[in-house]
């Protein structure tokens, strides 16, 4: 499941912050609290948690009831273990992967910017059409008011 980069980053940052608060231990949170802190819709929240679990960023277990879940943020332990055990060749490979990921992010951002520019242009045209319609209606209304006054 693919999330937008901004949404993915928002959720990773949020869970990283909460994990640091709990000193890397697992923690229980209400979905509504996560939603409030991230500003995401409930559907986006569920998709994001599922995507982070699939990516190996989070371990998600059921909570005390359906409105809660137990989370374990896995990235901190992975990066610490990875830096201790990695060789220089693996670091180069990791740097290449990071560069590739950054390039993909830039490409995605460029696509998103182009899409937003098209949407803004479309909205401008719609607003202009509506302004013209309003002007025509105002002219017609003025004509009708003039006819009523003459009677």
User: Which CATH number does the domain housing residue 38 bear?
Assistant: 1.10.10.10
pLDDT per residue over 43-65, tens digit each? 998 999 998 888 888 899 988 98
pLDDT per residue over 125-143, tens digit each? 999 999 999 999 999 999 9
**Number of domain units in the chain:** 1
**74 is a domain residue:** yes
**22 is a domain residue:** yes
**73 is a domain residue:** yes
**Which residues of the chain fall below pLDDT 70?**
1, 76-93
Domain that holds residue 81: 5-85
- Compute the distance between CA of residue 35 and CA of residue 41 in angstroms, rounded to an integer: 7
**50 is a domain residue:** yes
In this structure, the strands spanning 68-73 and 58-62 are: antiparallel
Q: pTM for the complete prediction?
A: 0.49
pLDDT at 110: 84
- CA-nearest of 17, 78, 93, 11 to 46 is 11
């Amino acid at each position: 499941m693919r999330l937008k980069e901004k949404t993915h980053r928002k959720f990773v940052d949020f869970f990283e912050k909460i994990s640091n608060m709990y000193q890397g231990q697992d923690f229980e949170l209400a979905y509504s609290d996560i939603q409030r802190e991230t500003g995401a819709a409930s559907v986006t929240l569920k998709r994001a948690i599922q995507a982070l679990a699939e990516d190996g960023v989070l371990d998600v277990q059921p909570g005390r009831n359906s409105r809660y879940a137990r989370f374990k943020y896995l990235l901190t332990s992975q990066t610490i273990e990875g830096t201790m055990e990695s060789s220089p060749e693996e670091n180069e490979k990791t740097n290449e992967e990071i560069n590739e990921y950054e390039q993909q992010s830039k490409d995605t951002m460029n696509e998103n910017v182009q899409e937003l520019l098209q949407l803004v242009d479309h909205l401008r045209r719609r607003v202009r059409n509506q302004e013209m319609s309003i002007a025509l209606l105002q002219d017609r209304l003025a004509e009708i008011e003039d006819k009523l006054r003459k009677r």
